[in-house]
Amino acid sequence: MVETQAFEWWRGASLYQIYPRSFLDTTGTGIGDLPGITDRLGYVASLGVDGIWISPFFPSPMHDFGYDVADFCDVDKIFGSLADFDHLIATAHELGLKVVIDQVYSHSSSEHPWFTESRSSKENPKSDWYVWADARPDGTPPNNWLSIFGGPAWTWDARRQQYYLHNFLSTQPDLNLHHPDVQENLLSVARFWLDRGVDGFRLDAINFGMHNTSLADNPVADTEVWCGLRPVDMQKALNNSNQPELLTFIERLRNLMDQYDSRFTVAEVGGKQSGDIRKQYTNGSGRLNSAYGFEFLYLSELSSQTVADILQAWSNQSGNSWPSWAFSNHDVVRAHSRWLQELSPKHRASLITLFLISLRGNIFLYQGEELGLPQADLSLDDVKDPEALRNWPHTLGRDGARTPMPWHSTEENAGFSSARPWLPISDDHLNHASDSPLGGEIRDVVTQLLSLRRESPCLKWGDLVDIKSDGETLSYARTSGEQRLNVFFNFSGDPVRLGLINTSSVLAMVSADGFSAEFPEELPPWSGILYYPDIDSV
């Protein structure tokens, strides 16, 4: 372990993701707001996390619920004001919580003033701030690039008599980060929020920040990679994302961050071939601090071999390359509805959390994960997600992970709002409400496990070594200096003999019987254990 790692607050940190629309409504609009977040920061701090990550709260027409930003340096009035944000920051810091916010640098809203000016003519000062291209001779888009949300990644604009690029919705035009003025303005955006006291940034879809200026077609994806649900998955996104020139901007951003004390950057990097990109973005001391992908977010079940492969791909790296991991977030089906469905909610949540705290890197806990929330089941009439509306019923969408937090099991709208919530609250979520017996029991275990991680150098900063998969058992070790912590999971319905002496010191064990610190002769079905081996058995 590098000795200075103990002084980097973000290394090994646990961050709690808050989706503002669905956390707590204090104004009776049915939509969560910044004062609602501030009101519940004491609750978040009690979990023992190191900080929060807040999804976008900037002015937006909300076509993609905040990820289509119309003003990078303000707060949308539905969430409150800059003064509300300043109060949130101050309160969080008083409670010892760091505050990380989203920054969306790959695209803006089509209602952003930059795009309004850019589309007005081919000669205006911002004409090249977005990605414009002429039609092919037959009038079709300039290449075969596809949008994540379906259809071509190009939309015709009659004013410019050109197509503009959008890797997501047509109302989310891609910024041209090749342009130095765009970079300068985005760095000014970063400086604006850093000056307000934020402790870090999560960089949304940053690998889409630059495109191949040759506009070459994307090649066909390997058949084993294509999941069969979306046309975009039938291509390798080689030319509309993951461009090496983006590293220059990343280094400029890191240089800016280093002018402030102890600031943190984590990149979201999607795509099937994102592993090497994440390592590039975080390698050395002059790039981002961390990055995460979607391996666990898209994983349909906990298979020991699949998990071993994921961990092996980024177990230890030279330089400062440091991963982050999330099992659930606002874009995917909650882990508690994907994994270990044969288990009781408390058993499942305990085992998933034990696995999460055992990983090398930073960990994200999505709001409601500490209560064991499953995915909400919504009808088509309730769906708001543009991706789901385009692809129903093959894509159930993201709304089921975005429904409001259930604070009180017996109050109207689960205590989230005095008005009808923007998304309905699942009846099943009332059983997991923060004040319910089940929600409270799960939260207590999650809090206890997070405390163990926070206090263990092996878990917080250590290396991850000796990864092995044998049938449905998974094992590895976390090491820090001379200390070693063994990790063993049994993802099967049969007990497994550990073959180890009983004098080993157990840090934590989770099984159907609950949380334990006793060393067993055999590991029960569907269980996990973290233990320090007896020195004579190493």
Least confident residue range of 39-53, 263-277, 331-345? 263-277
- pLDDT tens digit string along 9-30? 999 999 999 999 999 999 999 9
Instruction: Return the pLDDT at 7.
Output: 63
pLDDT of 498 higher than 70:
yes
- What is the per-residue pLDDT across 264-310, written as a single tens digit (0 to 9) for each? 999 999 876 677 899 999 988 999 999 998 999 999 999 999 999 99
Look-up of token digits 């390592």: 279
Question: Looking at beta carbons, which pairs linking 120-127 to residues 24 or more positions away fall under 8 Å?
Answer: 120/159, 121/159, 121/160, 122/160, 122/162, 126/181
Residues 429-462: pLDDT tens digits? Answer: 999 999 999 999 999 999 999 999 999 999 999 9
In the chain, % helix, strand, coil (3-state, to 5) comes to 30, 20, 50
Task: Write down the pLDDT at residue 319.
Answer: 53
- Where is pLDDT greater, at 315 or 410? 410
3-state secondary structure of 304: helix
Task: Note the pLDDT of residue 433.
Answer: 98
pLDDT of residue 193 exceeding 80, the answer is yes
User: Taking residues 228-253, what's their average pLDDT?
Assistant: 91
Q: What is the pLDDT of residues 110-134, one digit of tens each?
A: 999 999 999 999 999 999 999 999 9
Assess contact for 50 and 15: CB atoms under 8 A: yes
Q: Is the pLDDT reported for residue 143 higher than 80?
A: yes
Residue 537: the pLDDT is: 42
Q: How confident is the model at residue 351, as a pLDDT?
A: 98
Residue 362 CA, chain-centre distance (Å), reads 11
Residue 536 has pLDDT above 60, yes or no: no
Instruction: Please state the φ and ψ torsions of residue 163, each to the nearest 5 degrees.
Output: -90, 150
pTM of the model: 0.95
**Average pLDDT for 179-185:** 98
- Is the pLDDT at 318 greater than 60, yes or no? no
Q: What is the pLDDT, as a whole number, of residue 313?
A: 87
Contacts by residues 247-253 (CB-CB < 8 Å, ≥ 24 positions apart): 247/280, 247/281, 247/287, 249/177, 249/183, 249/186, 249/209, 249/210, 250/206, 250/281, 250/287, 250/288, 251/286, 251/287, 252/183, 252/187, 253/187, 253/190, 253/288
Domains defined along the chain, listed by start: 3-108+180-454 (3.20.20.80), 463-537 (2.60.40.1180)
Provide the pLDDT confidence category of residue 228 given band limits of 50, 70 and 90: low
Of 15-29, 309-323, 470-484, the one with minimum mean pLDDT is 309-323
End-to-end CA distance of the chain: 19
Q: Stretch 327-342: mean pLDDT, rounded?
A: 96
Q: What is the average per-residue pLDDT within 241-261?
A: 97
- Determine the average pLDDT of the residues in 133-148: 97
Amino acid at 83: A
pLDDT over 60 at 226, yes or no: no
Cα separation, 39 vs 88, in Å, equals: 9
String of DSSP letters for 4-69: GGGG-TTTT-EEEEE-GGGT--SSSSSS--HHHHHHTHHHHHHTT-SEEEE---SS---TTTTSS-
**For the segment 68-115, what is each residue's pLDDT rounded down to a tens digit?**
999 999 999 999 999 999 999 999 999 999 999 999 999 999 999 999
Q: Is the pLDDT of residue 502 over 60?
A: no
Q: Which residues are catalytic?
A: 204, 268
Instruction: Please give the Cα distance from 48 to 39 (Å, whole number).
Output: 17
